Copies of this chain bind each other. A is one copy, B any other.
Amino acid sequence: MSGRLMVIGLGPGDDRYLTREALAALEAADALYGYEPYLDRVPAREGQSRHASGNREEGARAQAALRQATDGASVAIVSGGDPGVFAMAAALCEEIGAGPPAWRALDIAVVPGITAMLAVAARAGAPLGHDFCALSLSDNLKPWELIERRLDAAAGAGFVIALYNPVSRARPWQLSTAFERVSRYLPASTPVIFGHAVGRPDETMTVTTLNAAGEIAADMATLIIIGSSETRVIARPGRTPLVYTPRAAEDALA
């Protein structure tokens, strides 16, 4: 008998971003695996086992879930945001690709979730209203030179840039270097959004400009959106500004 393995996106923050499909998938699981803060967001249910693991144990977590599913269980790995965006779905596929044939026979289902850049963009207005890219600023898994080349390519071609994993204790200088890098292509007045802990009680949103962005604090719970030269800000008396990128674009280099 072969079981089922689901990877379920919870969205960022609290439960407002949970989809119907995610709720049903959580109900259907015999066992839940995940990073502890994500598991803590799922109410306990009798008969459903829970297996918490650390932030950096994606490979071991995927292997444990795969083994239990191979024994016939319906197993779920829970993920913050969307599991397909810098999260557990790729880690799972890596393990399946390197693992025994039985893992390739399993029923695998990825349940998408609201990823942080969509939640932060919604809070700000519509900064992702035109072409954009998502880039992890962590150089744990790729060389910094590759990140710089991608920043050059994205900013130079007019993509709005969503930065995931902008800073950590072990990576203190990368974010300010990234702002300097894109400043070669973008005006100092380019809007930059810092969305911290979106969907949580301690959520904060900061709208600033590229030349001042280096002064704003950020951590691993921060999602940063760097506008393009087309991105605009509407000041609103007594309200946070609206940031948006128009649907139409000129060819500035033509």
Closest CB in chain B relative to A61 CB, distance in Å: 14
Q: How large is the interface on A (under 10, 10 to 19, 20 to 34, 35 or more residues)?
A: 35 or more
**This chain's copy number in the assembly:** 2
Decide if B90 touches A130 in the complex (CB within 8 Å): yes
Q: Which of B85, B93, B112, B158 contacts A244 (CB 8 A)?
A: B93
Chain B residues with Cβ below 8 Å from A250 are: 142-143, 146
A216 CB-CB contact with B under 8 Å: no
Closest CB in chain B relative to A136 CB, distance in Å: 6
B-contacting residues of A (Cβ < 8 Å)? 9, 11, 15-21, 24, 82-87, 89-94, 96-97, 104-105, 107-108, 110-115, 118-119, 121-123, 125-136, 141-143, 145-146, 149-150, 152-154, 156-159, 232, 234-239, 242, 244-251, 253-254
Closest CB in chain B relative to A126 CB, distance in Å: 4
With A17-B19, A96-B234, A114-B19: A84-B126 Cβ-Cβ less than 8 Å: yes
Chain B residues with Cβ below 8 Å from A110 are: 121-123, 125-126
Closest CB in chain B relative to A108 CB, distance in Å: 7
With A11-B19, A15-B20, A114-B114: A253-B119 Cβ-Cβ less than 8 Å: no
Decide if A119 touches B112 in the complex (CB within 8 Å): yes
Closest CB in chain B relative to A118 CB, distance in Å: 4
Chain B residues with Cβ below 8 Å from A253 are: 149
Decide if A19 touches B18 in the complex (CB within 8 Å): yes
A147-B127 Cα distance, complex, nearest whole Å: 19
Q: Which of B19, B119, B134 contacts A131 (CB 8 A)?
A: B134
Decide if A92 touches B154 in the complex (CB within 8 Å): no
Chain B residues with Cβ below 8 Å from A108 are: 125, 242
